Amino acid sequence: MGDRRLLDGQVAIVTGAAQGIGLAIADTFLAHGARVMVVDVDEAKIEAVVKERREAGHAVAGQRCDVTVEADQDALVAATLETFGRIDVLVNNAGITRDKYMKKMSVSDFDSVLDVSLKGAWLGTRAVSGLFREQKSGAIINMSSLSGKIGNPGQTNYSAAKAGLIGLTKAAAKELGPSGVRVNAVQPGLVRTEMTLTMKPEIFAAKEAEVPMGRAGEPEEVATAVLFLASPLASYINGAVLEVTGGRGI
């Protein structure tokens, strides 16, 4: 991409951005000229992330927000507008896993995973949709997973949440498309973050062996796909699901 900055002048909210894929998205957006609101439940990590990037001269702010809480999401939109004066991009990236086979999975394991990934993305999408409709522009990117396409044993909760995000993405794309607002989803495969490093090494290796490219992905390789969908390069892409898997699960 050379020196071309794809998000100059734009303001983006990225949830679950204190680490991992969300942080890589925030950094990629900053490198492309966006002003970024870093959102997470982990306040200490947000503070450290924001401090370091401010010192590097970036326009970045942080907000603690539990994406499952309606009032937090509404406060997030208000805080972003107060800080940066506009919002152009929302990345619903926050997600958790509570992997267990169904015989051991509790109702709260199920509910909490759906609450963060699916309800969190719905609340976020709803919270910006009025503004995006009024301004007749905006891009929303939902972080699904290959698990939502192929289904993973031990992830009945997570696969359901991540498949649900595809329905949400397509329905929202149809509702908001007439106002010039685009809603898309990304489906990463195996990516090296704290979420996957909690896997047993032999399970990680077995999954890696399923990847045609022969390796796990790096968070930055998901972030550039999100950047593309957020940017004017994707001006006619709406309701799409972009797989970022090295070819796994195709």
Shortest spacing between CB 179 and ligand NAD, in angstroms: 26
CA-CA-CA-CA torsion for 170, 174, 177, 181, nearest 10 degrees? -40
Distance of alpha carbon 131 from alpha carbon 133, whole angstroms: 5
> Choosing from 84, 122, 132, 158, which is the catalytic residue?
158
Provide the binding-site residues for ligand NAD, judged by CB under 6 A: 15-16, 18-22, 40-42, 65-68, 93-96, 116-117, 120, 143, 145, 188, 190-191, 193-196
> CB neighbours (10 Å) of residue 18?
25
Alpha helices in the chain (DSSP H): 20-31, 43-55, 70-84, 107-114, 120-135, 147-150, 156-176, 194-197, 201-209, 219-230
Find the shortest distance in angstroms from Cβ 8 to ligand NAD.
Answer: 26
CB-nearer residue toward ligand NAD: 62 or 95: 95
Please, what sign has the CA dihedral across residues 78, 81, 87, 93? negative
Residue 120 or 246: the one with the smaller Cβ distance to ligand NAD is 120
The least distance separating ligand NAD from the CB of residue 250, rounded to whole angstroms, comes to 15
Residue 236 annotated among the catalytic residues of the structure: no
Q: Whose Cβ is closer to ligand NAD: residue 98's or residue 133's?
A: 98
Report the catalytic residues: 158
